Amino acid sequence: MSTQLSSPSPAPAGVPASPLGGVRGLLADWSSDQQAFKVSWGKTMMWIFLLSDTFVFSCFLTGYMTVRMSTTVPWPNPSEVFALHVGGADIPLLLIAIMTFVLITSSGTMAMAVNFAYRRARRECAMLMLVTALFGMMFVGMQAFEWTKLIVDEGVRPWTNPMGAAQFGSTFFMITGFHGLHVSCGVVYLLIVASRVLRGRYEATGNYQIVEIAGLYWHFVDLVWVFIFALFYLW
């Protein structure tokens, strides 16, 4: 008795088709952008990037603390090194306090931009992102002033420091410079996304998740500065 092979009948309406097996199934799932935990690939990739960046900053700060605790030469007093001369008096950490306030405020404007993005208020969202980018530029400008003061007026170099331990210059320029690079890249990132939001790039699909992804990056940059501020300027 012969047996006739028949192709599988299609699944009834309302019943999901059974997944394909083997390599074909893997390729089909990958090309259809399947989500394992209901998180988009863009947000997942940003979280992976931020996790890797966390390891880098952790290594930098750990190396800084190790060098500072092991050096036999006195470490410069941050309250004196980063004091700002105003009205005939030196005010400790005045510029650093302003920089911290600016960066923390920018985190608030970025959160508001994400809120307006999901309400599809693209004009308000774009304006708040531009304000956030402006705060970022102010932070980088103040950091450039701080670097200029240390290099030109105080004579600090990555390989020497007239105020104490020579490792002060190398750790300071490495950590704050790397963070400043992140802020500068974030400013460019925010300007690009804000211009696209303002032009209605995401209006057709209604998917403004790119604003939230940019916000994740910016909040990470702000959080890293909190650790730098506590360990480098207050310790």
> Tens digits of per-residue pLDDT, 69-93?
999 999 999 998 999 888 888 899 9
> Tens digits of per-residue pLDDT, 133-181?
999 999 999 999 999 999 999 999 999 889 999 999 999 999 999 999 9
- Our measurement of the distance from residue 195's CA atom to the centroid of its chain's CA atoms, rounded to an integer in Å, reads 19
Contacts with 105 (C-beta within 8 Å, 6 or more apart), sequence order: 135
> Tens digits of per-residue pLDDT, 195-214?
999 998 888 777 889 999 99
The SS3 call for residue 84 is strand
What CATH number is associated with residue 134?
A: 1.20.120.80
Is 80 within the bounds of a domain? yes
Average pLDDT over every residue of 210-224 = 96
Angle between helices 167-198 and 122-148 (to 10 degrees): 160
pLDDT for residue 175: 96
Is 29 within the bounds of a domain? no
DSSP alpha helix (H) spans, the chain: 22-31, 41-70, 78-81, 94-118, 122-148, 167-198, 209-228
Count CB neighbours of 85 within 10 A: 11
Of the candidates 181, 167, 169, the one whose C-alpha atom is nearest the C-alpha of residue 53 is: 181
Is 118 within the bounds of a domain? yes
Of the candidates 146, 129, 144, the one whose C-alpha atom is nearest the C-alpha of residue 194 is: 129
Contact (CB, 8 A) for 118 and 213? no
Is 58 within the bounds of a domain? yes
Contacts with 90 (C-beta within 8 Å, 6 or more apart), sequence order: 80, 83, 84
Whole-angstrom distance, CA of residue 124 vs CA of residue 111: 12
Count CB neighbours of 96 within 10 A: 21
Whole-angstrom distance, CA of residue 136 vs CA of residue 219: 12
Is 94 within the bounds of a domain? yes
Is 211 within the bounds of a domain? yes
DSSP 8-state code for residue 232: I
Contacts with 109 (C-beta within 8 Å, 6 or more apart), sequence order: 128, 131, 132, 135
pLDDT for residue 23: 79
Local confidence band at 36 (pLDDT 50, 70, 90 cut-offs): low
pLDDT for residue 176: 96
**Residue-range definition of the domain harbouring residue 195:** 38-233
Is 195 within the bounds of a domain? yes
Is 33 within the bounds of a domain? no
Is residue 21 predicted with pLDDT exceeding 90? no
Contact (CB, 8 A) for 83 and 93? yes
Contact (CB, 8 A) for 198 and 123? yes
Structural domain total, the chain: 1
